[in-house]
Amino acid sequence: MKQKSKDKTAKSRLRLLHQYYNYTGFYTFVWEAVKKALPYIVAIVIAIFTVNHFFNINAALVRLTEILPSYGVLSFFFVSETLLGLVPPEIFIAWAGKMYSPWFYLSVLAILSYGGGLLSYWMGRSITKMPSVHNYLEVKMEKQLKNSKKWGGFLIMVGAVLPLPFSIACIAAGIIEFPFKNVILYGSLRFIRFAIYGLIIFNVL
């Protein structure tokens, strides 16, 4: 009986959450954002596949981790995680797994990734100080900006946990001027992702 009661409570909460998101226009907002971003995502994916067809990007990155000293690999990773974060962190986690102290290097990678995301946030804030961008956001994107601020935490959590560029999520949070203290809080989920990936990759290596 208790289990059934718990299941009903969970379903009720999910139903209320669904109703809230539906009422506030969250689903519409996400769909419109995806539609607008889709052409750019497709273009980036096609460009990556095209380059990778003639030049093995992953192999080159793996080779880079082999020839660079540890501080060079960590520096390259930090720059990558700050500027769009398009290089998969898994490559660097695999590199950490081959070091003499895997969990130490994994911790450093997680801190650098988190720090790079926070720096990306301020890059986004800097972009909004450009007069043309500021006017565009305040006039043409006023409604979208209001909705974005409402669900900025969700945006950060998705970027922190899922295999999506964390840097891009943080730049977006900076552009919509999402509170920095919340970015610090939600972005800390990044450490959980690295811990999970470390457990998986280290056990495979």
Pick 83 or 133 by higher pLDDT.
83
- Residue 184, pLDDT > 60, answer yes
Asked if 76 and 88 count as a contact pair (C-beta separation under 8 A), the reply is no
Q: How many CB atoms lie within 10 A of CB 179?
A: 12
Asked if 96 and 80 count as a contact pair (C-beta separation under 8 A), the reply is no
Nearest to 156 by CA among 147, 167, 145: 167
% of the chain residues with pLDDT over 90 = 18
d(CA 65, CA 76): 9
d(CA 113, CA 107): 10
Most confident of 8-22, 38-52, 69-83, 156-170: 69-83
What local confidence, expressed as pLDDT, does residue 90 receive?
Answer: 84
pTM here? Answer: 0.69
- Residue 78, pLDDT > 90, answer yes
d(CA 177, CA 173): 6
- Residue 46, pLDDT > 80, answer no
Nearest to 71 by CA among 95, 103, 97: 95
Per residue in 8-29, pLDDT tens? 565 576 676 556 556 656 556 5
Determine which of 42-51, 56-65, 79-88 has the lowest per-residue pLDDT on average. Answer: 42-51
Tokens of 114: 């988190």
- Residue showing tokens 């226009």: 25
Asked if 117 and 167 count as a contact pair (C-beta separation under 8 A), the reply is yes
- Residue 83, pLDDT > 70, answer yes
Nearest to 108 by CA among 96, 121, 122, 94: 96
**CB neighbour class for 128 (10 Å; exposed up to 12, middle 13-18, buried from 19):** middle
d(CA 57, CA 43): 17
Pick 139 or 185 by higher pLDDT.
185
